[in-house]
């Protein structure tokens, strides 16, 4: 089962610390959030945070691993297990999915080695998904990398999108409106076969005869 919101007393101290860190990193960013902030949010001492994780960097690594694992699990439930047909599924995972998305974007914005490795992992997951599907692409690696960047990039433009749509995309209504637009864009071709062939031919000519830089 995918992770859901649970009362603090239902979690171990280690899990409470990790979940508190994930929420605070998502809201404030990784740099500005301190061990003391996380300890206060988790209802434990700073010493206990260090006991379980050793350092903020190690705690961040644990959050990265957890967020990726849970995101992959939700994706697996949606597609491989066919849970999209379950009327209550989206409602049950929505709060968790939104938090994980916010966290992963924050982590990628951090620009650390951990963030770079996480982006690479997301691209590799995308490559496997595309390879197993009926999607056609001339460059599997580039297709997956651009797709990941597109999906995460909308959150980097939070202010611009929210202003243009007239609603905060981090609210439930705004998040749904944004994802409906994604669904519409991904579910239908935006170019005719003739336009696609012409653009590919133009790019092939450019590759064969690149202009001098």
Can you list the pairs that 117-123 forms with residues at least 24 positions away whose Cβ atoms lie under 8 Å?
A: 118/64, 118/68, 119/148, 121/68, 122/68, 122/148, 123/148
pTM of the model: 0.75
**CATH 1.10.357.10 domain extents, the chain:** 8-151
What span, in angstroms and rounded, lies between the C-alpha atoms of 118 and 125? Answer: 11
Q: Can you tell me the distance from the alpha carbon of 119 to that of 99, in angstroms, rounded to the nearest whole number?
A: 17
Q: Is 30 helix (H, G, I), strand (E, B) or coil?
A: coil
Tokens in use for 208? Answer: 């064969």
From first to last of the 213 residues of the chain, give the pLDDT tens digit: 344 444 444 479 999 999 999 999 999 999 999 999 999 999 999 999 999 999 999 999 999 999 988 988 888 888 777 777 777 877 788 888 889 988 988 888 888 887 888 899 889 988 998 998 888 999 999 999 999 999 888 888 999 999 999 999 988 899 899 989 999 999 999 999 999 999 999 999 999 999 887
Query: Which CATH code of 1.10.357.10, 3.40.50.1260, 3.30.70.520, 3.40.50.2300 fits the domain covering 8-151?
Result: 1.10.357.10
């Amino acid at each position: 089962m995918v992770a859901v919101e649970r009362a603090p007393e239902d979690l171990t101290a280690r899990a409470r610390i990790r979940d508190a860190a994930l929420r605070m990193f998502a809201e404030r960013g990784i740099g500005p959030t301190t061990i003391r902030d996380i300890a206060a949010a988790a209802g434990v001492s700073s010493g206990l945070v260090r006991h379980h994780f050793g350092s903020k960097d190690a705690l961040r690594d644990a959050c990265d691993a957890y967020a990726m694992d849970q995101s992959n699990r939700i994706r697996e439930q949606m597609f491989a297990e066919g849970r999209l047909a379950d009327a209550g599924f989206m409602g049950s995972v929505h709060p968790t999915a939104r938090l994980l998305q916010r966290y992963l974007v924050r982590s990628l914005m951090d620009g650390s080695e951990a963030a770079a490795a996480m982006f690479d992992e997301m691209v590799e997951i995308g490559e496997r998904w595309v390879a197993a599907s009926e999607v056609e692409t001339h460059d599997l690696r580039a297709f997956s990398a651009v797709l990941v960047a597109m999906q995460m990039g909308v959150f980097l433009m939070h202010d611009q999108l929210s202003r243009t749509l007239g609603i905060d995309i981090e609210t439930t209504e705004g998040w749904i409106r944004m994802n409906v637009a994604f669904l519409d864009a991904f579910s239908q071709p935006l170019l005719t076969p003739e336009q696609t062939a012409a653009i590919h031919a133009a790019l092939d000519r450019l590759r064969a005869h690149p202009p001098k830089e």
